[in-house]
Structure 1
Amino acid sequence: MMDLVQQNNYLVVIAIGVVVGYLSGLLGKGGSAISTPALQIFAGINPFYALASPLPAAITSTISASTVYRKEHLFDKRVILLCAVVGIPATVMGAQVSDYLKGKTLMVLTALFIIGLGVSLAVTFLRKHDKENYNTTSNTAGQQASAVNIYIIVAAFAIGLLSGLLANAGGVLFSTFFIKKLHMPIKRALACSVVLSALLSIPGTIWHWHLGHIDWSIALVLAVTALPFSWLGARTSVRMNTARLERLFAFTLIGFGVFDIVYTLAVK
């Protein structure tokens, strides 16, 4: 009976890997914001394992998706490099702190943060009138370089810290920052966040593995199933209407965040 239950759980994990992989490529994120609540809700995974086990899969899925974005020439190499240099060590710092918080606390923090990002982006997109500004190149080039660099450094440190704390690849946080503060077009923002998700997932994976928060059987299943579907999701993203992609991105965050926090507070 136990074997049957375990087998059914792995079938659920496979299904989660397929869905999360596709959405990761589509929305330019590592997928932790989606896979974490899904693993706990549908597969009954322990909160700590649900938080950290998707990190290794985030590496493979984001690398797969980045190949599509690269062909479309959507990367801003300067922004990616600066965010990675600051964000990676900050991720390690945040991961160390996570060991002192309860799993339920981390789940609630993750859900609240995702909801906040989704609402913020939804308001931004719905109020936007000049769509041409979001279909051109990034506006960061027209700003003073030194001021922008300091802005990026501060944001990258904060995002890296939160990413390590919440065992999140950081894609959602970076893409939101790029869209709202650097005024990047959404497809460029998603492309840059995909690369950073892969880079920040590496130290996060190593540290949470050290803390014993990763179930490698779950991580492997997610990594293998997400790989081809993240590529497919990225292909869909680069061909999707920009306005539709913006709304899909914002309301997907809100939906998953609300679902997760209601489950965590009401059921657990």
Structure 2
Amino acid sequence: MTEPLPSGPPSAHGRPRSSPVVFTADFASTTQWVAGRSWAYPGGGPVNPRDDKLDYLVADAAYSRSGVFRARRRQDGRWNTGLLTTEGSEEGFTVRPGDVLEARVRLPREIGAWPAIWTWRDGDQEIDVFEYHPDNPDLLEFTNHVRGTNRYHHDDAVGPGAWIDLRTVFGARSVEWWLNGTRVFADGRGVGRGWHAYLIVNLSVCAGRYHPPPEPRTTEMSYEVSKLVVRRPTTAGAATAEEDATPS
């Protein structure tokens, strides 16, 4: 059994501080999320071959609105894929410096699956809470594209079909990634004090340039996000958390 996720940024002694929840994902909500469209894709989608993706974004609720993100093979060789973003939604929620995102996900099993939780705004501002590829079964990818840092993290708790608890602290001076209650990477770079970005949750499908595409017999794939919340420390608490952060 995994330990409960800490509720806020850690103190210098490793004790989490409590922070109020400012966003609780309701994937069925049409005011929180827009389905099947993202400006992280050229023209807002539906395809993005330059990023080595076979995706064809669809707004169909069956592909994303239950928290199970699905992909199904099309006759033209692309895959109908599920994506939700807060960009363009009525609420328009953005993550800010000091925010803490907590998520519980079930990783996919199928080769070619490419699940991710990430941020995006105005062609950039990307922080990858996680990316995963089942051809590297024990590896999670954590990346700060804003400041150019990343970590490939191998862990026995990671594998096709595994449930994992993720936690990302979007610090102005250091972004931290936690897995199953343990901090595994602090980049020492952060996002800066003026950063803010929308959330994206999706399941992409690899085209084969960097990771193998789906096997011919595979016609469907999925991964699940059973929890996603964002906590926002008070101004004083966020400043203290920045002082406490030490890269590892």
Q: Tell me: higher relative CO, structure 1 or 2? Use CA pairs within 8 A at least 6 residues apart.
A: 1
* TM superposition score normalised by structure 1: 0.24
- Between Structure 1 and Structure 2, the one with more strand by share is 2
* TM superposition score normalised by structure 2: 0.26
